[in-house]
Copies of this chain bind each other. A is one copy, B any other.
Amino acid sequence: MATISDVAQKADVSVATVSRVLNGSSRVSPETALRVRRAIAELDYRPNLLGRNLRRTKSERILVLLPNIANPFYAEIVKGIEDVANRNGYSIMLCNTDSDPEREKKHIRMLKGYLADGAILMASEMTCEELTELSREVPIVQCCEYRAGLTISHVSIDNEMAAYQAVNHLVGLGHRRIAFIGARNHFLSSALRKDGYIRALKEAGIAFDPVYCGYGDYSYKSGFRIMKQLLGLNPRPTAVFCVSDLMAIGAIRSAMEENLRIPRDLAVCGFDNIYFSSMFKPTLTTVSQPMYDLGCTAMEVLINIIEGQTKGAAHYFLDHELIIRESTAK
């Protein structure tokens, strides 16, 4: 394929002039510019981005790390990230980590290899130390899941408050035996959502009972399985708060199999407001995270860091919203 010097030769100018035409960095006479442009068109020349980026030590690319693109929750965030990135001249590289630290490290190596100018991490498996070290070398932003107390910017919702409001809604419907289906992992959001659950119970004068708590991995299957167990309790819960929509849907299917009516026999509340939660029958009450905005904000914050606007770490908490639908109707 043609290089810049092929173009220069054809247009009978130096490579510098071609480069100037390419970048509009400095004045070139209209006639020369025309000649160069014609040569570019004739040769179908495209700048080699490796060469350009090497020279500029800038890749104009952002690495986006997420556990699983098949999760519609992340897909929506990615759209926000991508829109802001594109608007600012960046492209994004999406990488699945499958929650595998090795796989994640492999991708981080690209980042350190200057293939990206920065990264947005979602549900990273790295330790606090690894993260801190990485952030010293490369601009990074944590999105949704984050490690607290680090000097690394993050964007998320107020998970404790969101859970509190969701459970409070169940309390308001008159429920007293409210189960909790959480996530067994090291993420802060898991702990915070449980905190919110407990606070809502406490305020309503309901004793917290660990027997009514189960822990899964956000998946439909785990929600299904855990709900089965919870329904075996005596007395069984009359409501359940799940920390993901998929688990909530699993819980509903589980209850339906036991011939329970939703919401009459069991009220169910999810978390995330993924697209499917409104297609499902009964439609799902859930905490809506502003996924698109989370993505946009994360990207904006990252660009600020990359372009040197921001010094310290910034922490953003975006507004969530409790969406009440059929699964907890009166």
Q: Using CB atoms and an 8 Å cutoff, list the residues of chain A in contact with chain B.
A: 1, 46-54, 59, 68-70, 72, 75-76, 78-79, 82, 86, 91-96, 103, 106-107, 109-110, 112-115, 137, 220, 249-250, 253, 256, 275-276, 279-281
| Other A-B pairs, 4, CB within 8 Å; known A93-B94, A281-B281 | A46-B113, A70-B79, A249-B279, A276-B276
16 residue pairs of the A-B complex, CB under 8 angstroms, read: A48-B113, A49-B110, A49-B115, A50-B53, A50-B59, A52-B113, A69-B94, A70-B76, A75-B75, A86-B106, A92-B95, A93-B93, A253-B279, A256-B281, A279-B280, A281-B281
Distance in angstroms between the alpha carbons of A86 and B96 in the assembled complex:
11
A74 (CB) vs chain B CBs: closest residue: B69
Q: Which 7 A-B pairs have the closest CB atoms?
A: A70-B75, A49-B113, A94-B94, A50-B54, A46-B112, A93-B93, A69-B75
Distance in angstroms between the alpha carbons of A209 and B82 in the assembled complex:
43
Chain A binding surface SS class:
helix
Is B113 a contact of A47 with CB atoms below 8 Å? yes
Is B279 a contact of A220 with CB atoms below 8 Å? yes
A246 (CB) vs chain B CBs: closest residue: B279
Is B78 a contact of A96 with CB atoms below 8 Å? yes
Is A114 a contact of B72 with CB atoms below 8 Å? no
Contact of A96 among B79, B253, B275 (CB under 8 A): B79
